[in-house]
Amino acid sequence: MESTSLSSVKLHRGQTGCLWRRTAHVLLPSVMVWVHGGSFTSGAAALYNATLLSSSYNVIVVTINYRLNIFGFLGSQELIDEAGKSGINFGIQDTATALQWVQDNIAGFGGDVKSVTVFGESAGAIDIAWILSNPKYEGLFNRAILESGAGGTLEAQTVTSTYGTAIFNGALSYFNISSTDTAKSKLEKLRKIPASNITGYYVASKSTFAYPVIDNVSVLDKSLRALALGKFVKKLDGILLGTNTNEGSVFALALNYTTASDLRKQLSALDAAAPGLDAQVWYNEWDRIQADVYIGNGTGNFTAEFEANSNYITDSGFVVPIRKLAQAYVDAGVPVYYYRFDVTSNATLQTYRALYARGYYMGVTHGSEIPFVFSFVPTLSGQAEVNTSRQMASSWAQFARTGNPSNALVGTWPKYTTPSRDVMYFGANGTVSVKAQASLPDFRQEGQAFLEQ
């Protein structure tokens, strides 16, 4: 049988009317299902051309869409009560539905239903983490790859939280719907408003991120609590996950966190004082760590203060939540493989050239590993970047086939276990090596340990 090129593949529309799947090179055995990122507010499957990854590494790649922003992550008690056992968090449920579609249909495309790996970046990885946090989704896939995201990156909110109520109540106010209306009346009036107007409201709300809301159906608990209680999908052949060196730089830029005082303000993003700690002790300790670990001698230097904000976001939003997820799976006996991407690509340098000139240090940015994983060779610069892409793409594909990313281009990839917690380090000039986590160039042990409390 001849393989099917990307240009001739048909789109298959889901029953919800908003779930689409695009399958590339469909006559190959192991299956990789890509979940795109975008802070749960933006993004699309069509942005990721899987042709080279599929054809070069002998895997099927399925890319999916899921509902975003207010359409995928609107939380309110009215919606929860109405949905009942169906639940809300429609973006997460769309992803689960797409994974079920793969289970039901991929054999018809020549795929091995017993060898399915879900992989995603940023919100895509977070989406996967939330599916992993619900045991009812066990069996939808065999392996998982999470790039730069875990449940704790965008932690679930309670329906009474600021996020849980603000977007819904804001919509009522924006469209002149009385807050004293019955729940049924509120929902009926909102549903009569054209989708384009709803989108207009969401854009006007200037929401940077969307969050899952605990509905006791699709999202059962805070992710870190679910991990601590052992309430997560454990029937996996393996899990591969990791981060880029400077995940936080694009977020520090977007949120305008550039100074030492901005760094202090970020403490408000934590869930208040850690249990059992006096609040003042917490703040005093934070002041000391802020000074010693994140800013050091850089006070008064714009680049150093911006990088301090970036590093804090990297640690609190990415390194610590991902390490906690990794450790939970180690403790559950699931093989875990960890990576660090530390390649400042030429494309990244060109994208942020004007910002570098103004003193912003962007580094190895969030999402910059994607062209390497997808083998986007035309966008890479020089043989060293091509070599790194081959190392990463072959590792991802090998993991998708076997549950172990070891291959001839990277050598033996050790499991992430205590005490060394070995990491596969993709470095500059096409180099790749195994490093103990504590030996990584940006390992801020004291700051990360503080944030793990």
Query: 299 and 275: one domain?
Result: yes
Query: 35 and 126: one domain?
Result: yes
How confident is residue 447, by pLDDT bands cut at 50, 70 and 90?
Answer: confident
How confident is residue 8, by pLDDT bands cut at 50, 70 and 90?
Answer: very low
pLDDT digits (tens, 9 = 90+) for 369-417: 999 999 998 889 999 999 999 999 999 999 999 999 999 999 999 999 9
Percent of the chain with pLDDT over 70: 88
**Cβ distance 88 to 213 under 8 Å?**
yes
Give the mean model confidence (pLDDT) for residues 54-59.
Answer: 93
Place of tokens 């909102």: 190
Give the mean model confidence (pLDDT) for residues 255-271.
Answer: 73
* Catalytic residue from among 76, 115, 122, 148: 122
Query: 299 and 423: one domain?
Result: yes
User: CB-hemisphere CA count at 13 Å for 17?
Assistant: 1
pLDDT digits (tens, 9 = 90+) for 130-156: 999 999 999 999 999 999 999 999 999
CA distance 63 to 241: 19
Q: Which of 236, 264, 299 is the last residue of a domain?
A: 236
Whole-number pLDDT of residue 228: 87
Beta bridge partners of 121: 147
Whole-number pLDDT of residue 12: 39
Mark whether 389 is an active-site residue: no
DSSP assigned state of 135 = G
Give the mean model confidence (pLDDT) for residues 216-241.
Answer: 93
Q: Which of 204, 220, 236 is the last residue of a domain?
A: 236
Percent of the chain with pLDDT over 90: 71
Query: 102 and 203: one domain?
Result: yes
CA distance 80 to 216: 9
Query: 28 and 56: one domain?
Result: yes
pLDDT digits (tens, 9 = 90+) for 419-442: 889 999 999 999 999 999 989 888
Whole-number pLDDT of residue 15: 39
CA distance 41 to 203: 10
**Residue 162 clears pLDDT 80, i.e. is over it:** no
Query: 68 and 169: one domain?
Result: yes
Query: 384 and 412: one domain?
Result: yes
How confident is residue 245, by pLDDT bands cut at 50, 70 and 90?
Answer: very high
Query: Average model confidence (pLDDT) for the chain?
Result: 88
How confident is residue 4, by pLDDT bands cut at 50, 70 and 90?
Answer: very low
CA distance 72 to 1: 39
CA of residue 56 relative to chain centroid, distance: 25
Residue 36: closest CA among 68, 75, 73: 68
Give the mean model confidence (pLDDT) for residues 219-228.
Answer: 90
| Structural domain boundaries enclosing 351 | 244-319+326-453
Calculate Rg over the CA atoms of the chain: 22
pLDDT digits (tens, 9 = 90+) for 64-121: 999 999 999 998 999 999 999 999 999 999 999 999 999 999 999 999 999 999 999 9
How many residues does this entry show for the chain? 453
CATH number of the domain residue 388 falls in = 3.40.50.1820
Read off the tokens for 211: 């969050």
pLDDT digits (tens, 9 = 90+) for 281-311: 555 676 677 667 787 766 788 999 999 999 9
DSSP assigned state of 311 = H
CA of residue 41 relative to chain centroid, distance: 13
Query: 407 and 274: one domain?
Result: yes
Query: 179 and 294: one domain?
Result: no
How confident is residue 11, by pLDDT bands cut at 50, 70 and 90?
Answer: very low
**Residue 52 clears pLDDT 60, i.e. is over it:** yes
Q: Which of 181, 212, 236 is the last residue of a domain?
A: 236
Query: 59 and 158: one domain?
Result: yes
Query: 214 and 284: one domain?
Result: no
CA distance 375 to 379: 9
How confident is residue 23, by pLDDT bands cut at 50, 70 and 90?
Answer: low
**Residue 18 clears pLDDT 70, i.e. is over it:** no
* Maximum C-alpha span of the chain: 69
**Residue 356 clears pLDDT 50, i.e. is over it:** yes
CA distance 348 to 368: 7
Whole-number pLDDT of residue 267: 58
**Residue 26 clears pLDDT 90, i.e. is over it:** no
**Cβ distance 47 to 120 under 8 Å?**
no
How confident is residue 446, by pLDDT bands cut at 50, 70 and 90?
Answer: confident
Query: 57 and 190: one domain?
Result: yes
**Residue 269 clears pLDDT 70, i.e. is over it:** no
Provide the domain count of the chain: 2
